[in-house]
Each structure stands twice: as C-alpha cells, then as structure tokens.
Amino acid sequence: MDTQLTIIIPIYNEEENMDRLYKEMAAFLPVAKKKTKILFIDDGSKDKSLEHIRRICDENPSFNYISFDKNYGLSAAIKAGFDQVSTPWVGYIDADLQTQPSDFNILLDYAENYDLVTGVRVDRKDSFIKNMSSKIANGIRRSFTNDCMNDTGCPLKIIKTKYAKKIPMFNGLHRFLPAMILLQNGKIIQVPVSHFPRLAGKSKFNVWNRLIGPLCDCFAYVWMKKKYINYTIKESKNE
C-alpha cells in the first residue's frame, strides 16, 4: 500500500523530547488508519536535536528529515514540510507532544470529506496566562477571518496536500491555516482532541508572540485576502 499521509514535525531545540517523540510516533505508525511516514524539519536547532534526528532516521526508514542552516521560525518550517510532501495528505504535530499522535486517527475519520481537519484542544493543560492569551488571540483572528475556528493554534492538523501547497506562507501565517484553506474554497472542520502538559523542553512562545504578533499578522491576512487569486477552469484544450 502506498503511503497516504506525511506528518511533519518542526524541531527547534527539543533534544529533551526527542526520545519520547520517536517512541510515540513509532508506536502510532502501525495503527494509523492511513499508511504514514514522518518528516522532521530541524529549524536550525542549537542543541543536540539534529543528532537525535539523524539517529532516528538511520534506524527507521519511515522517518526522514530536512535541516535548515539557521533558525527561520515555525511558519518557514511548516512551509518547507508542505514543499517536500508528495503524499495525498499532510499532517502536522508539535514536538512537545502536548497533543498525542493517536488523535490523528480521529482527524483521519474526516479527511476524505474535508480539505483541512484541525484539532480543538479540550481541557487545556497550560498556564492561566497562556490559556487566556491564546483565547484572546483566537477571538481576534476569528473576527478578522470569519473561519469559525475556536483553536487555530492547535498543533494537530491534517490537510489535503494539493491545498497545503497552494498556501502562500509568510511568517506568522501558520496561525491562519484554516482561513487560507477557505480562501481556496476548501472545506474545514474542527474536532476535539486531547491535550497534555509539556513534560520537557521550553515553550518557544510568550505573550508577545502569542498575542501582539498575531494581531499584526491579522492585518497581513486581510491584505492577502483582498489580493488573493483564485479561479476555476471551465474547459480547456492543451496540446
């Protein structure tokens, strides 16, 4: 059976999580509802993350990686993953495993009928400040995008690759993936998934890049929405 889903995992200074990440992703592969492979995106890690990634990919042919020459940020890592993927679906999960790989099977139940399926974190295990800033940021984005998504920042998603490759990514746009699928007249849905506390490593986000930064990105999205080109070919003759 051909591989149907590639799960991309951006990595930036996550050496403390790598063994656990490998164990959980490897355990998911045999039970995935679609044949799956993993693509690590090393975003210029300064710790030993890349050493772990190389070892994992040498040990298991279902794991592959690309590595940046320096840190470019989460949006760039996600775009690089989209650019590399050749399977019909592309998934995304964070390396901190605050969402669990097994929940991809929940999303896969909807993958045939929707162009993006995103998780919405139930009973979040983050701090009060993190939860509140995320809630406010989601509300601001929702007012700009009208995407009806309650948790666009949930790091558990599945997208049809043909839609993912047409997303014009820029820094910060990873927060607008559902809205960007809507711009392509795609169908989106959110489904509840589990959430867990971070057990190792440090969060790369704070109040500034979770709240103030996304507000600025909203204006970029509005500009892009006005300029976005989308068309449907009625008929053609190509020789």
CATH number of the domain to which 43 belongs: 3.90.550.10
State the pLDDT at residue 111: 95
- Is residue 232 included in any domain, yes or no? no
Domains held by the chain: number: 1
> pTM for this structure?
0.81
Radius of gyration of the chain (CA): 18
- The segments of the chain whose pLDDT lies below 50 read none
Task: Decide: 99 and 119 in contact? Cβ < 8 Å.
Answer: yes
State the pLDDT at residue 33: 97
Task: Decide: 125 and 199 in contact? Cβ < 8 Å.
Answer: no
State the pLDDT at residue 131: 58
State the pLDDT at residue 138: 63
> Measured between alpha carbons, how far is 5 from 158 in angstroms, rounded to an integer?
9
- Is residue 55 included in any domain, yes or no? yes
- Is residue 233 included in any domain, yes or no? no
State the pLDDT at residue 50: 97
Strand 156-160 relative to strand 89-93, pairing: antiparallel
- Is residue 215 included in any domain, yes or no? yes
- Is residue 234 included in any domain, yes or no? no
State the pLDDT at residue 154: 84
- Is residue 237 included in any domain, yes or no? no
Task: Decide: 201 and 127 in contact? Cβ < 8 Å.
Answer: no
Give me the domain span that covers residue 22.
Answer: 5-227
> Measured between alpha carbons, how far is 85 from 77 in angstroms, rounded to an integer?
12
> Measured between alpha carbons, how far is 4 from 199 in angstroms, rounded to an integer?
30
- Is residue 112 included in any domain, yes or no? yes
Please enumerate in sequence order all residues whose Cβ is within 8 A of that of 91, keeping only pairs 6 or more positions apart, or say none. 5, 6, 7, 8, 36, 104, 107, 156, 157, 158, 159
State the pLDDT at residue 66: 96
